[in-house]
Amino acid sequence: MRAASLAFAAVAHGACGPAVSNLPRTLDDEAASQKTAPPAATPAAEAPRTDAPAGKALRRGTIARDRLIAVLDAGPGMFLRQLEVSPRMVGDRFVGWQLVQLIDRAGPLGDVDVSPGDVLLAINGEPLERPDELQRLWDSLRTANELKAQLARGEARLELRFTIDPPVAAPVGSPPAQVR
C-alpha cells in the first residue's frame, strides 16, 4: 500500500538529513544560500497545539508486512530518494525534520497526508536526531505491529497511524510489546 511508504519516508529522512537535489542550481539559488537568516526567536513557553485539520490524503491505514519488509530490505538510502528535508530548529534546539519537498510526487508518499513545511517530531514515540536512532527504529519496524508518525503542521499537530498486517505475535512468555 502506498501509505506504508509515507511513514517510512518520514522515518528514514528524519535521522539522515536532507536529500541532495540533482536539479541544477541558479544564480538566485546561490545568492539566497549566502544570506544568513536572523536567529529564530525562542518562545517563552510553547502554547498547546491543536490537531491539524485533515488534508486530502491518508492519515490512517494498513501496511502489508511483506511490502514493509521489502522497503526495509532495500535500506534507508533507497527510501530517502523520495523527499528532501532540512533540520528544524527553535533557537539552538533541534525540533525535528522539516519536509522541504516531495521529489517523487507519483511515489508512495503521494497518498499520505504530508505537505512541504510539515515537521517530523517522532516515529513510534521516538525522536530521530541521530543516525543511530534511525537504525534502531529501522530495525524495530521488522517486528512492529504499528507505525505512528507525529508531525507538526504550523502550530497544529497531527498523527499518521498505520497498522502493519499481519501482526507479529509476541514470543511465548514475553510481555506484550509497547508502541509509544
Give the chain's domains with CATH numbers: 2-19+55-165 (2.30.42.10)
Tens digit of each residue's pLDDT, the chain (180 residues): 433 344 444 443 333 444 444 444 444 444 444 444 455 544 445 555 567 666 668 999 999 999 999 989 998 888 888 889 999 999 999 999 999 998 877 766 778 899 999 999 999 999 988 888 888 999 999 999 999 999 999 999 999 999 999 999 876 666 655 555
Other C-beta atoms closer than 10 Å to the C-beta of 38 total 5
Residue 96 C-alpha from the chain's centroid: 9
pLDDT at residue number 118: 96
- Please, which residues have CB within 8 angstroms of residue 70's CB and are 6 or more apart in sequence? none
Biggest distance spanned by C-alpha atoms of the chain: 63
Number of separate helices (H) and strands (E) present in the chain: 5, 6
pLDDT at residue number 98: 95
Residue 58 DSSP code: B
Distance set, CA 163 to CA 90, 96, 148, 160, 177 (Å): 32, 23, 9, 10, 14
